[in-house]
Structure 1
Amino acid sequence: MVVGNFLFINTEISSTSSIHFKLIPMPKNHSPRKKQFLDESLKMIHEKGYQATTMRDLAERMGFEVSNIYNFIDSKETLLETYLFQISEDFHSGIDHILESSHNSTGKLKALISLNIQLTATKPYQVGLLVNEWRNLKEPKLKKFTDRRSEYEEKVRLIISEGIESGEFRTFDLDIITHAVLSSVRWIYYWYTDHTEEANPIELEKQLTEFILGGVVR
């Protein structure tokens, strides 16, 4: 499946075995200079926060005049909106493929964990917008985003409810276990960005999968 700028290929077929994805970079249309600007902008927002980051800060980071920024982006708000909705749709695309797969509920939950780790590993600063900065959106974009966020949470809820109904998962309160799973996968961003140099996505996936499934699967 294609998610954002990467092609994810499921390398496991069994619904009970570990699920891993190979990442094949997809071509981008940005010039090297624009890509550098966008990457540095996202990194600075991660470091300082969206509200504290100014267009002048971005210009100084890149070593050019503020006016030159507008060759790449027309406003800080556009930068936030573009990348926030892009990463949101990456998650939706990924979970839609998972829901449409032939995996049982356990396999789908494993794939959900894998999706979150892979996107965090490849796009950590965009995931950071999703976790920390979405409240800075202005209406009507904020309403559009929160609606999509709720839709994603409902898709996670569906995986868990089907697992409970099939007897694969333990019988817990559906709201509690859904929010516990969502909190666990969102935590990945905080851990990963604090341990980027030594982070091993495969080992992280193994341990987090064992932790979540150990509390959910019968």
Structure 2
Amino acid sequence: MNKSSKKERFLEVVLKLIHKKGFKATTMRDIAQELNFEVANVYNYIDSKQSLLEEYLFDIQDEFHTAIDHVLASTHTADKKLQQAISSYIQITTKRPYEQALLVNEWRNLKEPRLQEFVERRRGYERKLQAIVEAGVKQGQFRALDIEMATQTILATLRWLYNKCLHSESIVNPIEIEKQLIEFIFVGIIKN
């Protein structure tokens, strides 16, 4: 096993452990024990739990921002942009469910100033999605509705998805999930 594979295995085990116990409850000793390491060996892979959390949260957040920025830059109509934004969210989540779980559940464990930076970037993503919803209302594609409430409802509908990916008894098919969730969201937002 090469060094990269060892680190990937290490990080996979740590993500699963954090998901199982929670960030605060997971200690360096727990990590070492889970991997049959001495505690000192854990530091060969990470500087600290906090740096690991920062790295994962900002990395997946970057991926979400890049995806929605591509959607916003497209020439599609608002309804197509919303479909693409939902699709990219689902694709990222199904590919990286443990990181998405961190994003949903553990971001509050960031320390300042990174916490404030994270919150601002999260609001930025929400504003980008909100701009798509607002454009759809203005273009007459979406019903006249409270833009913020619609945006937060869409996000709430998507944020639980990591849980299905991690705890599903069957293999999760992202294309089928995408179809169902887009249908569900669009029933509430599309103008008749």
**Aligning the two structures, in what range does the TM-score lie when normalised by the shorter sequence?**
over 0.9
Residue number in structure 1 paired with 2:78: 105
Contact 2:97 2:163 in 1 (8 A): no
Give the letter aligned to residue 118 of structure 1: Q
Once superposed, what is the RMSD of the aligned Cα atoms?
A: 1.1
The CA distance in 1 between the partners of 2:79 and 2:162, in whole Å, is 23
The CA distance in 2 between the partners of 1:188 and 1:109, in whole Å, is 17
1:95 aligned to 2:68? yes
Residue number in structure 1 paired with 2:4: 31
Q: Percent identity, please.
A: 49
1:53 aligned to 2:35? no
Residue number in structure 2 paired with 1:78: 51
Q: Which has the higher helix share?
A: 2
Q: Which has the higher strand share?
A: 1
**Could you tell me which of 143, 149, 152 is aligned with 1:179?**
152
Q: 1:140 to 1:73 in 2, by over 3 A?
A: same
1:202 aligned to 2:178? no
For residue 45 of structure 2, give the secondary structure of its aligned residue in structure 1. coil
Provide Cα deviations, 1:111-162, integer angstroms capped at 9, x if missing partner.
1111111111111011111100000001001000000011010001000000
Provide Cα deviations, 1:174-209, integer angstroms capped at 9, x if missing partner.
121111111111121223222164322111111001
What pairs with 1:153-192 in structure 2 (closer than 5 Å)? 153-192=126-165
**TM superposition score normalised by structure 1:** 0.84
Query: How many residues matched?
Result: 189
The CA distance in 1 between the partners of 2:14 and 2:153, in whole Å, is 32
**TM superposition score normalised by structure 2:** 0.95
